[in-house]
Amino acid sequence: MNRTLYALCGADKSRPFSPHVWKTMLSLAHKGLDYYTKAVGFTQIPTIENGATTLVPVLRDGDQLVRDSFDIALYLDSAYPDRPSLFGGEGGQAMARFVESWSQLTLHPALVRIILMDIHDSLAPADQAFFRTSREPRFGMSLEAVAETGIGELKTFAAKLEPLRTTLKKQPFIGGETPLFADYIVFGPLQWARIVSPKTILEPGDPVLDWFERCLDLHNGAGRSVTAA
Ligand SMILES: N[C@@H](CCC(=O)N[C@@H](CS)C(=O)NCC(=O)O)C(=O)O
């Protein structure tokens, strides 16, 4: 096997938590492709592949180096066309872009505030210092002040999922009867929260929680390979 996925971890190097890396982990499982996971902390990312990136995921596949979860999914479908498709064709690719935008603009900004201190607390000391000095200017306030806003975000988070909830009353996956990359796009941030935070993000009985549990079961329970916080 000549395939390596660089995955962001906290102090515990057996617990990859990045939402974007999880999109790629399920993409590789969907394609039935084996890989080594190389755990990195935030401060190690610039050393990956001789400085090839500032962000993860990064996939080394033989002589190919591919960055960005969406580009990796496109690459996998193009490099391994005989394996189950992640997009189901060009229309699926285009619609997955919408799902990515919705997830990035609606789910990620709320979730990061809800779980910010849990992320911080899970990191190794050098990464905690980096996380504080890089995130506080971005938010314009201390991590603790951002986390205060997360209390309100948690109360309104379920409502943000209503478009997905309504869809899941008609079909088991965003991809239809079976999952596609669009499912993994939304799975990623919820898995991020599951792994770093003990907070209840989805209430029992919510169709979105039922879908999330179905996603955790996919590909021999790949999503359950890391336990909940
Ligand atoms: N659009 C990229 C986003 C990747 C991204 O933001 N990765 C974060 C981890 S979740 C990262 O590497 N952050 C490094 C840093 O903030 O220094 C993708 O989909 O792969």
Q: Which ligand 1 atom lies nearest to the CA of residue 130?
A: 17
Q: How far is the CA of 28 from the centre of ligand 1 (A)?
A: 18
What are the start and end residues of each CATH 3.40.30.10 domain in the chain?
3-79
Query: What residue type is 192 in one-letter code?
Result: W
Residue 56, ligand 1, Cβ within 6 A: yes
Q: Which ligand 1 atom lies nearest to the CA of residue 18?
A: 10
Q: How far is the CA of 61 from the centre of ligand 1 (A)?
A: 19
Q: Which ligand 1 atom lies nearest to the CA of residue 8?
A: 9
- pLDDT, residue 220, reads 98
| Secondary structure letter of residue 140 according to DSSP | T
Considering the segment(s) 3-79 as one domain, its CATH architecture is 3-Layer(aba) Sandwich (3.40)
Q: How far is the CA of 5 from the centre of ligand 1 (A)?
A: 14
Cα separation of 18 and 33, whole Å? 20
Do the beta carbons of residue 117 and residue 63 sit within 8 Å? Answer: no
Do the beta carbons of residue 113 and residue 145 sit within 8 Å? Answer: no
- pLDDT, residue 156, reads 98
pLDDT in tens, 51-95: 999 999 999 999 999 999 999 999 999 999 999 999 999 999 999
The single residue listed with the structure tokens 């190690």 is 44
Collect the ranges in the chain with pLDDT lower than 70. 1
Please, what's the b/e burial string for 21-57 (b: 16 or more CB within 10 A of its CB; e: otherwise)?
Answer: bbbbbbbbbbbebebebbbbbbebbeebeeeebeebb
Q: How much is the pTM? A: 0.98
Residue 19, ligand 1, Cβ within 6 A: yes
What are 207-211's contacts with CB under 8 Å, separation 24+?
Answer: 207/165, 207/168, 207/169, 208/158, 208/161, 208/164, 208/165, 208/168, 210/168, 211/164, 211/168, 211/172, 211/173, 211/183
Say whether the peptide bond before residue 57 is cis (omega within 30 degrees of 0).
yes
Show the tokens assigned to 171: 């079909």
- pLDDT, residue 32, reads 98
- pLDDT, residue 159, reads 98
Cα separation of 66 and 5, whole Å? 10
- pLDDT, residue 119, reads 98
Query: What CATH number belongs to 90-225?
Result: 1.20.1050.10
Residue 27, ligand 1, Cβ within 6 A: no
Closest C-alpha residue for ligand 1 atom 19: 69
pLDDT in tens, 135-150: 999 999 999 999 999 9
What are the start and end residues of each CATH 1.20.1050.10 domain in the chain?
90-225
Residue 18, ligand 1, Cβ within 6 A: yes
Report the alpha-carbon angle 196-26-68, nearest 5: 85
- pLDDT, residue 214, reads 98
